[in-house]
Amino acid sequence: ENNLVKFTRDANGTPQKDEKGNYKFERLCGYAIHDSERAGRACMQSEVLAMANGNPYNIGYLIGSTFTRGFPVPVREFNQNFLALPALPSEVVADACEDNEVVLRKIATDGKGTYFALIHTGDAEKTVTVRFPAGTENLSLVVSGKKVKLESDGTATFKVQPWQLAALVAAPSAE
């Protein structure tokens, strides 16, 4: 029972059922909505899952308080990385990570390098090893510009936060 409906009760306070076995109730108002968000980094769960499972070019919100988020740090981090990726089709890089909570998406551009979206859908910080496609070089994080060390086998190690998106670019070689 909540402030939207009132159950019909007998003299002992037991909710009454109709002939179909459904609880009888009276509506106290016609419509109500409640906005809430998950706490901390989990507030980005929907956006991160959209990146991992789809190919979004823009992201809409189903809440009224979109611009008054309670946890601005992970929101800003996600938005910076999302906006750093080109709005082009991407494809999942198969077997890029043994951890099934990590997805690597590849975005090819025309002469501007190859972008990657590294997506962690888990709820705990961890260190993961990611395998990039053959020929990947000059890899860096787009937002910070920090170079990423690629091992000779094409792998790189990342410390990922819960519900995180990181934009990377493999700049074309200057030949």
Q: What is the pLDDT of residues 129-151, one digit of tens each?
A: 999 999 999 999 999 999 999 99
Query: Judging by beta carbons within 10 Å of its beta carbon (0-12, 13-18, 19+), is residue 90 exposed, middle or buried?
Result: buried
Q: What tens digit of pLDDT does each residue of 95-135 get?
A: 999 999 999 999 999 989 999 999 999 999 999 999 999 99
Kindly report, residue by residue over 5-36, the tens digit of the pLDDT.
Answer: 778 888 888 888 888 988 888 777 766 666 67
Q: How confident is the model at residue 57 (pLDDT cuts 50, 70, 90)?
A: confident
Q: Enumerate residues 6+ apart whose C-beta is below 8 A from 74.
A: 40, 41, 43, 44, 161, 163, 164
The model carries a pTM of: 0.77
pLDDT value at position 67?
Answer: 64
Instruction: Please report which confidence band the pLDDT of residue 170 belongs to, taking 50, 70 and 90 as the band edges.
Output: very high
Pairing of strands 139-141, 164-170: antiparallel
Task: Return the amino acid letter for 34.
Answer: H
